[in-house]
Chains A and B, each alone.
Chain A
């Protein structure tokens, strides 16, 4: 082993306090990055997951101009022939005024979004039915699943209550329809249809007089990485139709862009934290140079060159960086494992979607290691400037 590495190792292990301090600085810097990633990226991924599972699917097909007038069953069958497609379903969106009468008292009328679903296919292509905690999903033509926020705003509507919805059909005429509330939907994190009501798609088509039309086709994949490929294949297969097909990132862009900026900012703060740990290493290394001034003078006196002294302290930085990066990464992975296994969530909000991003983990460790070396450059340079005669006079 090069004597400089051996000496660097020996100097550090004989100054355990400084070594522990420097290693802690590096590893805490890495741990902060990991915790940020688990929480904020986990939150973002959970939101994407819920948006995908409840509202947009892996691919969302709509019409650029208007409603889809091609047979929805034909399109669904086309998708389901693809080996990467788990299921596809139709949806139709509208809005209506709603009011309810409870114990003889009529609540104030207000507008709400209405989502028409195919109850059989929808349970395969989405998981919105799992958010119905009270009652059951839409099955009958006059049944309605109400979002929890809507139920609250209507004065505490419950399963079994009647509600009246007023629509405006395609001809501009008012259409009134009474529904029975069969279920209340509530999603952790609120990415579901908590602010809407869900009805049978055929009921909605009939009300709006859009019998052969569909608002959107939701497609669920068994491999989300194939979304763009299947989207492009679909668009190439139907070139003359005015279809618009979007992946989850595209269809939820408005919702997600705000989160992405927030996450980027949080990550930046994390990296600033890591840079602070670099300053701690500079301080500790300067202290080590100061403590070893006499030894540096001796080494120079017996023939060590400035380059040897520089490398000695750079090797110390590498040792600190390597141990710190290993410790920090270990702690970070342990935290990630814990978050994943316990399906971590905060105060009953949506559970984090925790993943191991190996590229980011490796990048963080390498960045931290590099910063430890960079932080050692100035102290190492200062060490080389010491004159042997003066250095050896240091007590």
Chain B
């Protein structure tokens, strides 16, 4: 797929001919420097943005033909998001934030029990009734991970999940995500500019100037579609 902003001489080619696949239960790292196009790529995978050309298949469904409501439903049920700054709703408690995707889906029976279980898994049992703006950055990020998992999504997309955290907290988050991959078989696609925080991942894709390379940056090679 491709993503271009603007037209003519002022056009910016953020993503150029990128093509790859992700297996279930895989922890895929997308690395690149600032401005390389990795967040743009993640936004397109997460259906928050549309490619200028190309197709995106998630769980066998071609998502580029879906309308706005279908995309919203797809995001809700198939995708989980962990943003750089957690992005919890400050008007809700931690528990209410985690349940929110289920309430949007109108399947909130047992949602409270499942949310509590997830919050126990991420170590936030004691903070579940705190307002989201009354917890630390690391706790918010853990709550965001729990929110991303509540609907048992096919993929969890994390955009710089440790970007706003100190090194100790960042390490906790990284280990948590790795343990979730192992324990739940959850598929994670993580975008980061600092690949050293994430060792022992299944795959690494490097984005440079809009192009994608498997593994560490290798000159002249592109990943073939699978």
Q: Which residues of A contact B147 (CB under 8 A)?
A: 302
A-contact bits for B83-108, CB 8 A (1 contact / 0 none): 10001111110000000110111001
Q: Closest CB-CB distance, A50 to chain B, in whole Å?
A: 58
- Once the chains are docked, how many angstroms separate the CA of A308 from the CA of B101? 12
Closest to B150 in A: A302
Q: Which residues of B contact A306 (CB under 8 A)?
A: 68-69, 72
Would B87 and A298 count as touching, CB distance under 8 A? yes
Would B91 and A302 count as touching, CB distance under 8 A? no
Known: A302-B76, A302-B100. A11 touches B91 (CB 8 A): yes
Would A302 and B81 count as touching, CB distance under 8 A? yes
Q: Which residues of B contact A205 (CB under 8 A)?
A: none
Would B100 and A3 count as touching, CB distance under 8 A? yes
Known: A302-B100, A303-B76, A305-B68. A389 touches B48 (CB 8 A): yes
Q: Which residues of B contact A294 (CB under 8 A)?
A: 87
Q: Which residues of B contact A299 (CB under 8 A)?
A: 89, 100, 104
Would A303 and B48 count as touching, CB distance under 8 A? no
A10 within 8 A of B: yes
Q: Which residues of B contact A225 (CB under 8 A)?
A: none
Q: Closest CB-CB distance, A1 to chain B, in whole Å?
A: 10
B-contact bits for A5-22, CB 8 A (1 contact / 0 none): 001001100100000000
B138 within 8 A of A: no
Would A301 and B48 count as touching, CB distance under 8 A? yes
B-contact bits for A286-312, CB 8 A (1 contact / 0 none): 000000001101111111111110000
Contact residues, B79-135 vs A (CB, 8 A): 81, 83, 87-92, 100-101, 103-105, 108
Would B81 and A295 count as touching, CB distance under 8 A? no
- Once the chains are docked, how many angstroms separate the CA of A299 from the CA of B81? 11
Among candidates B49, B69, B88, residue contacting A389 with C-beta atoms closer than 8 Å: B49
Would B72 and A295 count as touching, CB distance under 8 A? no
- Once the chains are docked, how many angstroms separate the CA of A298 from the CA of B104? 12
A-contact bits for B57-73, CB 8 A (1 contact / 0 none): 00000000000110011
Would B89 and A298 count as touching, CB distance under 8 A? yes
Known: A7-B91, A10-B92, A303-B77. A308 touches B49 (CB 8 A): no
- Once the chains are docked, how many angstroms separate the CA of A392 from the CA of B46? 14
A388 within 8 A of B: yes
B75 within 8 A of A: yes
- Once the chains are docked, how many angstroms separate the CA of A389 from the CA of B68? 14
Q: Closest CB-CB distance, B114 to chain A, in whole Å?
A: 16
A-contact bits for B141-168, CB 8 A (1 contact / 0 none): 0000001000000000000000000000
Among candidates B75, B90, B91, residue contacting A303 with C-beta atoms closer than 8 Å: B75
- Once the chains are docked, how many angstroms separate the CA of A10 from the CA of B77? 25
Among candidates B69, B87, B100, residue contacting A305 with C-beta atoms closer than 8 Å: B69
Q: Which residues of A contact B105 (CB under 8 A)?
A: 303
Chain A, interface SS category = helix
Q: Which residues of A contact B46 (CB under 8 A)?
A: 301
Known: A295-B91, A389-B48. A303 touches B68 (CB 8 A): no
B19 within 8 A of A: no
Would A388 and B48 count as touching, CB distance under 8 A? yes
Among candidates B48, B87, B92, B104, residue contacting A304 with C-beta atoms closer than 8 Å: B104
- Once the chains are docked, how many angstroms separate the CA of A11 from the CA of B90? 9
Query: Which of B87, B101, B108 gathers most chain A CB within 10 Å?
Result: B87
Closest to A304 in B: B104
B-contact bits for A22-40, CB 8 A (1 contact / 0 none): 0000000000000000000
- Once the chains are docked, how many angstroms separate the CA of A392 from the CA of B104? 18
Would B48 and A302 count as touching, CB distance under 8 A? no
Q: Closest CB-CB distance, B40 to chain A, in whole Å?
A: 9
Known: A3-B104, A388-B48, A389-B48. A303 touches B72 (CB 8 A): yes
B43 within 8 A of A: yes
Known: A3-B104, A389-B49. A304 touches B91 (CB 8 A): no
- Once the chains are docked, how many angstroms separate the CA of A299 from the CA of B89? 9
Would A301 and B75 count as touching, CB distance under 8 A? yes
Q: Closest CB-CB distance, A2 to chain B, in whole Å?
A: 8
Q: Which residues of B contact A11 (CB under 8 A)?
A: 91
Q: Which residues of A contact B89 (CB under 8 A)?
A: 7, 295, 298-299
Q: Closest CB-CB distance, B97 to chain A, in whole Å?
A: 9
- Once the chains are docked, how many angstroms separate the CA of A10 from the CA of B147? 19
Q: Which residues of A contact B92 (CB under 8 A)?
A: 7, 10
Q: Closest CB-CB distance, A389 to chain B, in whole Å?
A: 5
Query: Which of B89, B90, B147 gathers most chain A CB within 10 Å?
Result: B89
- Once the chains are docked, how many angstroms separate the CA of A11 from the CA of B103? 17
Residues of A at under 8 Å CB distance from B? 3, 7, 10-11, 14, 294-295, 297-308, 388-389, 392
* With A305-B73, A389-B43 already in contact, 14 other A-B pairs whose C-beta atoms are closer than 8 Å: A3-B100, A11-B91, A298-B83, A298-B89, A299-B89, A299-B100, A299-B104, A301-B46, A301-B81, A302-B75, A302-B76, A303-B77, A307-B69, A388-B48
Residues of B at under 8 Å CB distance from A? 43, 46, 48-49, 68-69, 72-73, 75-77, 81, 83, 87-92, 100-101, 103-105, 108, 147
Minimum-distance CB pairs A-B, first 10: A303-B76, A3-B103, A10-B91, A305-B72, A303-B75, A298-B87, A389-B48, A302-B101, A303-B104, A304-B104
